[in-house]
Chain A
């Protein structure tokens, strides 16, 4: 097992290299550069001034040299400085991480604690009123785009009813609140983003767990469990559920990068000060070091998430042993 993990970790190195090369090239291929953005696309800025900026950022060198320089800094865990404000990229990312984590962990918990029971009950009572109702809900969840739902809810709860704030993580006068006031303030700001980001996932995971559970309930060993004379509850929770959870573990592993990467569009709509918005702003400003920093971390998390899912597999399914 240990050998397997080490080998998988080693395989990640070429993968990461490939991902960073592609990201690097694509980012530099996109029209406009940091110099254009910094100077506000003003036609009055002379070509020499731009050239000076380019040489300051090292953008005048050939692309492969630039990549090599970036990579040699990266292996020393130096993500460089932002073109926009000159601050360390790693600091900028670390600042944004808690907000994204808070939002996504809450939404993931919500998804798992609501979607799993929905899926399992739907499967156990297949074709019941509950199951059919949930099918309609799932259909809605799949077809309603998150950004549209977000805007509708913002209008309803933020503007018409005025119950909830529509953007950001804190109110303007946040520093003057008491501890409980601060907590309540953050909770109020969290309600809409958490709900909207969980909505699509709820539909997806509940349907997924329903399918998985139905599949397991049809298996012969479930019939065996019934033949033992076990109660239906034991048959479902002891024999069926454990097997049905195996594929769901993969989903959990795959949702790990999203947990920290954050949603670009989503965070931008809610003006949530997280990683997704940082990435979005960096792309808009052609802030190459920040884009690459966010990209590397997202790629690393995706690969680690996959690895963790595979390792958990071996623990919960005795038929799988990695070599």
Chain B
């Protein structure tokens, strides 16, 4: 369904009075992978390895330096912003900063619904938007009577649900989840992860999961690719990578997973 082909993103490093480009940061340096329908594909790696840049390239928030992204065989750089938004949506890491503080929940979610619905009869449309917005809120486990409330009135977990409802409003086929739970409390993380799994089954979604927490990846993903300094260094099914890591970086990552086993302190 999604095919990423030799994708590159270099950021220029400028120096001096005339801002001469002296070097490039190779944030994403020639990565390729595919995601099949209904699959959860995870990109893992430490911060700064280029995971989030990859996510932004796929949803069109950045232009790639080189390489292409295909969705159902179509080059996404040829799609209009709205066309792309209807196919691929993104859930952001920080549920506090990513919701406009001056808009109501009804507007944040409803605006996306409205944007998707083509212009029809205004009255019918307004009713339809409200109805769909309520359905979306219900789907992500939020009360439906919050249309006139503002983001600051909600907790982190609730806000992330709002972010998910907002993404679902465009009825995408693929959702890029950029660290969807890393800024949430552990207790809330599990709820959001379960919600993501439920949604995948009921709406036949595919996910590109961006994460650094290998426990989250194991819970959610089918296949995983390990990124290191802009390149994919290892990939495979969850089982293969977790039980038989080949690359030394992957081994280090796996060793760093906190577990409940404790060492006796002498």
Contact = CB atoms under 8 A, between A and B. Distances in A.
Q: Do A and B bind each other?
A: yes
Interface of A: 219-221, 223-231, 239, 242-243, 316-319
Interface in B94-141: 94, 97-104, 111-112, 115
Contacts of B59: 227
Given A230-B115, A243-B100, A224 B81 contact: no
A213 to B, nearest CB: 14
A319 B102 CA distance: 8
Nearest to B163: A224
A221 B81 contact: no
A317 B102 contact: yes
B166 interface: yes
Nearest to B149: A318
20 contacts: A219-B97, A220-B92, A220-B94, A220-B98, A221-B97, A221-B98, A224-B166, A225-B100, A226-B61, A227-B59, A228-B111, A229-B112, A230-B111, A230-B115, A242-B102, A243-B102, A318-B104, A318-B150, A318-B152, A319-B150
B132 to A, nearest CB: 14
Contacts of B115: 228-230
Given A223-B92, A226-B61, A228-B85, A243 B101 contact: yes
Contacts of B82: 229-231
Contacts of B99: 221, 224
A218 B111 CA distance: 21
Contacts of A317: 101-102
A101 B101 CA distance: 36
Per CB-CB distance, the 4 closest pairs between chain A and chain B, nearest first, are A229-B85, A220-B97, A221-B100, A229-B82
Q: Is the interface of A mostly helix, strand, loop or mixed?
A: helix
A219 B103 CA distance: 14
B116 to A, nearest CB: 8
A228 B112 contact: yes
A50 to B, nearest CB: 64
Contacts of B94: 220
Contacts of A223: 61, 92, 98
Nearest to B94: A220
Interface of B: 59, 61, 81-86, 89-90, 92, 94, 97-104, 111-112, 115, 150, 152, 163, 166-167, 169-170
A227 B85 contact: yes
B163 to A, nearest CB: 8
Contacts of A219: 97
A317 B85 CA distance: 29
Contact of A229 (B84, B97, B152): B84
Nearest to A216: B100
Contacts of A316: 102
A225 B81 CA distance: 11
A268 B170 CA distance: 62
B127 to A, nearest CB: 21
A35 B84 CA distance: 82
Contact of B98 (A224, A230, A231, A318): A224
A231 to B, nearest CB: 7
A243 B84 CA distance: 27
A224 B169 CA distance: 13
B166 A229 contact: no
A243 B97 CA distance: 13
Given A221-B101, A228-B166, A229-B84, 4 more contacts: A221-B98, A225-B100, A228-B111, A318-B104
A107 to B, nearest CB: 30
A229 B81 contact: yes
B52 to A, nearest CB: 11
Nearest to A228: B112
A228 B114 CA distance: 11
A207 B111 CA distance: 31
Nearest to B107: A238
A224 B152 contact: no
Given A243-B102, A316-B102, A318-B102, A231 B97 contact: no
A128 B83 CA distance: 29
Contacts of B61: 223, 226-227
A45 B98 CA distance: 77
A219 B111 CA distance: 19
Contacts of B84: 229
Contacts of B97: 219-221
A231 B111 CA distance: 12
A227 B111 contact: no
Contacts of B169: 228
Contacts of A228: 85, 111-112, 115, 166, 169-170
B221 to A, nearest CB: 22
A243 B82 CA distance: 24
Contacts of A227: 59, 61, 85, 89-90, 92, 167
Q: Which of B82, B85, B101, B102 has the most CB of A within 10 A?
A: B102
A318 B107 CA distance: 14
A318 to B, nearest CB: 4
